[in-house]
Amino acid sequence: MQILDALRLDARLRTARSLSWLAAQAGDHPSRLLHHPWRANPYPTYRRLRAQGPFATSRLGFRSANTYEAVSTLLRGREFGVQPPERMALPEQFDILDLSFLILDPPDHTRLRALARPAFSPRRMAGYRAEIEKITHELLDTALARRDFDLMRDLAQPLPIAVISRLLGVPEADDEQFVRIGRAIGGALDGARSARHLSRIDGAAAELDVLFGRLMAERRAAPREDVISALVTASDGGALTPTELRTMCRLLLVAGFETTVNLIGNGVMALLRHREQWERLVDDPGLAPGAVEEVLRFDSPVQMTTRWSHADTTVQGRPMRPGDYAMCLIGSANRDPERFTDPDRFDITREDASDHLSFSSGVHYCLGAPLARLEGEVALRALAERLPRLRPTAQPTRRGTTVVRSLSGFPVTTGSF
- The ranges assigned to domains in the chain are 3-413
- In CATH terms, the fold of domain 3-413 is Cytochrome p450 (1.10.630)
**Which long-range contacts (C-beta less than 8 Å, at least 24 apart) are formed by 359-364?**
359/296, 360/75, 360/305, 360/330, 361/72, 361/75, 361/76, 362/75, 362/76, 362/77, 362/78, 363/78, 363/106, 363/109, 363/110, 364/75, 364/82, 364/102, 364/109
Average pLDDT of the residues in 190-215? 81
Query: Which of 183-187, 214-218, 250-254, 300-304 is predicted most confidently?
Result: 300-304
What are residue 399's phi and psi, to 5 degrees?
-75, 150
Which three-class secondary structure string do you get for the chain? CCHHHHHHHHHHHHHHHHHHHHHHHCCCHHHHCCCCCHHHCCHHHHHHHHHCCCEEECCCCCEEECCHHHHHHHHHCCCEECCCCCCCCCCCCCCCCCCHHHHCCCCHHHHHHHHHHHHHCHHHHHHHHHHHHHHHHHHHHHHHHHCEEEHHHHHHCHHHHHHHHHHHCCCHHHHHHHHHHHHHHHHHHHCCCCHHHHHHHHHHHHHHHHHHHHHHHHHHHCCCCCHHHHHHHHHHCCCCCHHHHHHHHHHHHHHHHHHHHHHHHHHHHHHHHCHHHHHHHHHCHHHHHHHHHHHHHHCCCECEEEEEECCCEEECCEEECCCCEEEEEHHHHCCCCCCCCCCCCCCCCCCCHHHCCCCCCHHHCCCCHHHHHHHHHHHHHHHHHHCCCCEECCCCEECCCCCECCEEECEEECCCC
For the segment 311-336, the average pLDDT, to the nearest whole number, is 94
pLDDT confidence of 268, banded at 50, 70, 90? very high
Per the prediction, the chain carries an average pLDDT of: 88
Chain centroid offset of residue 222 CA? 33
- Of the pLDDT bands very low, low, confident and very high (cuts 50, 70, 90), residue 417 is very low
CA-wise closest residue to 188 among 99, 248, 80: 99
pLDDT of the residue at 124: 81
Q: How many CB atoms lie within 10 A of CB 327?
A: 24
Is pLDDT at 288 greater than 70 in this prediction?
A: yes
User: Mean pLDDT across the stretch 169-176?
Assistant: 76
Look at the chain and count its residues: 417
Confidence of residue 149 (pLDDT cuts 50, 70, 90): very high
Task: Give the Cα separation of 413 and 417 in Å (integer).
Answer: 9
Amino acid 270: pLDDT: 98
pLDDT at 415 over 60: yes
135-139, 183-187, 196-200, range with the lowest pLDDT:
183-187
pLDDT in the model for residue 1: 55
Q: What is the pLDDT of residues 10-59, one digit of tens each?
A: 777 777 778 888 888 989 898 899 888 898 999 999 999 999 999 999 98
User: pLDDT of 110-134, one tens digit each?
Assistant: 998 998 888 888 888 888 899 999 9
Radius of gyration of the chain (CA): 21
Per-residue pLDDT tens over the stretch 225-264: 888 888 999 998 998 888 888 888 888 877 777 789 999 9
Q: Tens of pLDDT along 20-31?
A: 888 889 898 988
| pLDDT per position as a tens digit, 377-397 | 999 999 999 999 999 999 999
What average pLDDT does range 152-164 have in this prediction? 91
Q: What is the mean pLDDT of residues 357-378?
A: 94
Going by C-alpha positions, the residue among 178, 154, 156 that lies closest to residue 165 is 178
